[in-house]
Amino acid sequence: MSKKRKIRTDFRKNREIRTRQKDYTEHFDNEDFDEELAERVRAKGKFSRKRTVAGAEITEDASGTVVLPEIDQQECRLGRVLCVKGLVSLVEDAQGMVYPCTIRRLLKSLATDQRHVVAAGDHVWFRTVGGRPDVHSDPQRTQPHSNEPSATAGLSEGIIERIEPRRGVLSRTSRGQQQVIVANVDQLIIVVSAAEPRIKPNLIDRLLVTAERARICPAICINKIDLVNPADLMPLVGVYGRLGYRVLMTSAETHFGIQQLRNQLVGQETVVTGQSGVGKSSLLNAMQPGLDRKVQVVSRETQKGRHTTTTAELIRLELPPPVNTVDAPSDLPQAGLPPASYVVDTPGIRQFELWDVIPEEVAGYFRDIRPYVSKCRYSDCTHTHEEACAVKDAVADGWVDTRRYESYVQIREG
């Protein structure tokens, strides 16, 4: 980390209209100007792409380079972003008060590869502006974009002054930029359904690659097992189980496996992701009665889910201590109350394009392919068409699952 009182950083293109003329070169070429008297015109001040930020520092986090402006901690509060809805972010402080906040213009003007500046789960410093806070910590109970004028009437608003460095970031590529889905999480629960809709193993592999890169502990949850014969899922469960991934089989309808899933979430900050219609919100409702997350049925015509959850939301769960110590996370205290449990319910994913992963890195994020990479004859082996390839030999000998290898090839070529 390098700290400076003044730093020079890139800004986005200014939204203001230029007041200067842009046709100096045309006038210079068409008219007889004296070259010795010609003055070079360059962007200065607010028209420049680079600006000086006083009292700031530059650091690196899980999402890249971050500029941290200096703030007055006496006037600001430290909070956690619960959800982002349009231009308004709901931020909860240490006392459980929720504030609808906007973002400081300096943060929005910094040039980054991210589509949005703030994401659910961010730790931020914000400054309150009048009014009163909302005492409810449930983001569903405060609707900044509600049609009712009294939704946020009289509430104390805030301005996000600084975003703290992130860890445990789940992100993907969207329109050529990084879309941070959630930040500061410990584990990733990949929810798939045994039927309606069908399992997409390639999507599981893409999320596992992202979890490996972000150093987030992943687990796989196969929901709706009441719709199929569980024995038919054993080959898939065995492939991921022997790689060291935790695989849970649940049914939100019959509550089978709900206790094991609840134990997996105790004391952790977890993001739950997967396709639309696999039952992410239904599982949360089953784990904590009274949560009342909105759910919908799967379309009978397309066998695809409908987008019910529209934005990632951080939810605090009131989970009891694990009843089975084998299923409990290893870092929980042996006595006393378990630490707070947080879960982020995310919108359904139909496409997941990896962010900041080059083709040469993909093999290193596959646990079953990684041990054979160094045994190939060529150091730049792609493991796709070469003859003397240890990875292809391992697939032929049955040490690497054929479907996993095909998934690797598809991800690498994509």
Residues 6+ away with beta carbon under 8 Å from 116? 84, 179, 180
Note the pLDDT of residue 32. 59
Same domain, 192 and 272: yes
Which structural domain, as residue segments, surrounds residue 98? 61-163
Domain count, the chain: 4
Q: What is the Cα–Cα distance from 126 to 107, expressed in whole angstroms?
A: 12
Does one domain contain both 93 and 35?
no
What pLDDT sits at residue 129? 84
CA separation for the pair 217, 66 (Å, rounded): 24
Give the tokens for residue 33.
């100007």
If asked whether residues 231 and 379 sit together in one domain, one would say no
pLDDT at position 19 is 55
User: What are the tokens at 173?
Assistant: 């590529």
Which residues are 53's β-sheet partners? 7
pLDDT at 182: 95
Domain membership of residue 174 (yes or no) is no
Answer yes or no: do 196 and 258 share one domain. Answer: yes
- If asked whether residues 267 and 325 sit together in one domain, one would say yes
Q: Is residue 114 part of a domain?
A: yes
Q: Is there a single domain that holds both residue 86 and residue 129?
A: yes
pLDDT at 167: 93
214 and 319: one domain?
yes
Among all chains, which residue has been given the structure tokens 């009437």? 153
Residue at which a domain ends, from 137, 163, 189: 163
Regarding pTM above 0.95, the answer is no
Please identify every stretch of the chain with a pLDDT value under 50, giving residue numbers as ranges.
1-4, 37-38, 41, 47, 137-154, 332-338
pLDDT given at position 146:
37
296 and 282 both lie in a single domain: yes
Residue at 219 is within a domain:
yes
Query: Going by C-beta distance under 8 Å and a sequence separation of 6 or more, which residues neighbour residue 22?
Result: none
pLDDT at 133: 55
